[in-house]
Amino acid sequence: MIRTKAEWLSTFRHVGDSILVELSKSKKSHKDKAGEINKRIKEYREQEINRINDVAKKENWDNQALLNEILLLTYASYIVMLEYRNKVWEYEYMAFARRIGELWEPFCKLAFDFPINELTLIDPPDFDEVQTRIKSNAAEYINSLDLSEEIKAELKRQYDIPWTMVDSGGIKLGLDLHFEQNGIHYNCDFKSGFSSNEKGNTNRLLLVASIYNSLGEIEKTILFVRQSEDENNHYLQTLKNSPYWEVYCANDSYAAMKEFTGFDMRKWLDENADWKNDISIELKQHLERNDLLKYLTW
């Protein structure tokens, strides 16, 4: 291990202090200052990850050791992002709850970026190519039917009507994570949770997953949800009860990730992430005063 958690926290806080000194001379709004803090800390984190990658290659680290170090520095950077954002723009309920959820997805994806098990990150298919393939298969099937050419032409015309509704803008098939393992393409989305305003997103997820489903058994769609199932509303149940999505919530998400990556993220968090004691006293007091400490959980 290059540094301990305490050392990484100290390093990132030093970076945060230097940014804060610069911003104290600026007339930027608190929102812009918060954005600058997050941007600069993220840039420093990426710089450190690249440095550690170089060290790992020279010293022949395995992915377990590399991932552990990257998770540790990433977690420390998250702590400091929260602390220093709060210094220039104090968190309220919605912003804090949303931010904790936003940080979860990229953190979990690190286990797929540096997997213990063999897997390959892939790009999502292009919608236009998928559309062409589906239309071609349908036309081939219609042509094989024992029908008159006139009826075949009408069937094709009717079949094309729904496609005209999506041709103009297309459909984005990209989700949060795409990887291949043992000949299967896994198309994954990460959600912090489902609230009352998720109808549009739920419908999109159903549509996208139905398209993947039409491409055959090689395509699987998986939904990882940070919150436990009973903390979510009926939109999650809509996805779970559909024939398209495999849904995993809370610790079941971590168990599924372990199956894919070979890395036990739940165990790592239990052993390393102590949010309430790792954050500064200043941030902790602010969260306690505003009843926000309960959101510091993964």
pLDDT at 166: 66
**Does residue 42 fall inside a structural domain?**
yes
Per-residue model confidence as pLDDT tens digits over 252-268? 999 999 999 999 999 99
pLDDT at 92: 95
Per-residue model confidence as pLDDT tens digits over 59-101? 999 999 999 999 999 999 999 999 999 999 999 999 999 999 9
Same-domain check for residues 37 and 61: yes
Same-domain check for residues 162 and 91: no
Same-domain check for residues 198 and 284: no
Q: Which of residues 167, 183, 199 is at a domain's end?
A: 167
Per-residue model confidence as pLDDT tens digits over 270-292? 999 999 999 999 999 999 999 99
Structurally, the chain folds into a number of domains equal to: 3
Beta strands in the chain (DSSP E): 120-121, 177-181, 184-191, 219-225, 245-249
Least confident range from 30-44, 97-111, 156-170, 225-239: namely: 156-170
CA distance linking residue 281 with residue 286, whole number of Å = 9
pTM of the model: 0.88
**Does residue 24 fall inside a structural domain?**
yes
**Does residue 266 fall inside a structural domain?**
no
Same-domain check for residues 185 and 253: yes
Same-domain check for residues 66 and 98: yes
Q: Does residue 168 surpass a pLDDT of 70?
A: no
CA distance linking residue 55 with residue 58, whole number of Å = 5
Angle at Cα 149 formed by Cα 145 and Cα 155, nearest 5°? 65
Domain that holds residue 68: 5-116+273-295
Same-domain check for residues 45 and 131: no
Q: What is the mean pLDDT of the chain?
A: 93
Same-domain check for residues 53 and 150: no
**Does residue 267 fall inside a structural domain?**
no
DSSP tag of 229: G
